[in-house]
Structure 1
Amino acid sequence: MAWISLIVAGLCETIDVIMINEFNKKRNWQSLSLLILGFGSSFLFLTFALSTLPMGTAYAIWTGIGATGGAVVGMIFYGESKDWKRITCIAIIISAVIGLKLISS
């Protein structure tokens, strides 16, 4: 259950990145509310995951999911570069996250 919670926390972190971008574009209460809700949800699920998983592993996976998700969302929805070097780096992050999962208990 902790791993599922960690994945949800990472996905919420991706939403946080999107909402930071949206709040910078439109400074309104809806964007701010979703930003706060996203961070709160992300930290709540991360806290639950940390009750079982090692801190270093959980934090690395949480940030890896958030960074990868933010980069992919940026490429798909915000017209950011889809250069092969960027995609290769994203693949390295995903590989590292999978590796951490495989070697962790």
Structure 2
Amino acid sequence: MAWLWLLAAGACEIVGVVGFARISHGQRISGVIIAGTAFSAGLACLHVAMTALPMAVAYGVFTGLGALGSTLIGIVFWGDSARPARLVWVAGLVIAVIGLRISM
């Protein structure tokens, strides 16, 4: 169950970054509301997950999911670079998150 909370925390982290993107694109009020709500919910979910998972694993997965999701959202919706080298590094994040999970 802790892993589901951790996935929810990662999803909230991604939504929070989308809120930051809205702020930087001039949609300040909705961006602040989205970012504040999502980051608060993400930290609450992370807290619940950390009751059963080691801190280093939980936080590593949380930030990895946030980075992965934010990168993919940026590529798909905001035209961020999808150069092969960048995708290789994103794949490295996925491998690291999987490694944290199986090393428990």
Q: How well do the aligned residues superpose, as a CA RMSD in angstroms?
A: 0.9
Q: TM-score, normalised to structure 2's length?
A: 0.95
* Identity across the alignment (%): 32
Moved over 4 A (4+): none
Task: Name the residue aligned to 2:12.
Answer: 12
Equivalence map 1:68-79=2 (5 Å): 68-79=68-79
Q: Distance in 2 between matches of 1:3 and 1:83?
A: 31
Code of the residue aligned with 1:51 in structure 2: it is T
Q: Distance in 2 between matches of 1:13 and 1:101?
A: 19
- Alpha-carbon shift at residue 28 of structure 1 (Å): 3.3
Greater RCO structure (CA 8 Å; 6+ sep): 1
- Alpha-carbon shift at residue 27 of structure 1 (Å): 4.3
Q: TM-score, normalised to structure 1's length?
A: 0.95
Q: Distance in 2 between matches of 1:3 and 1:10?
A: 10
Task: Name the residue aligned to 1:48.
Answer: 48
Task: Name the residue aligned to 1:94.
Answer: 94
- Alpha-carbon shift at residue 101 of structure 1 (Å): 0.5
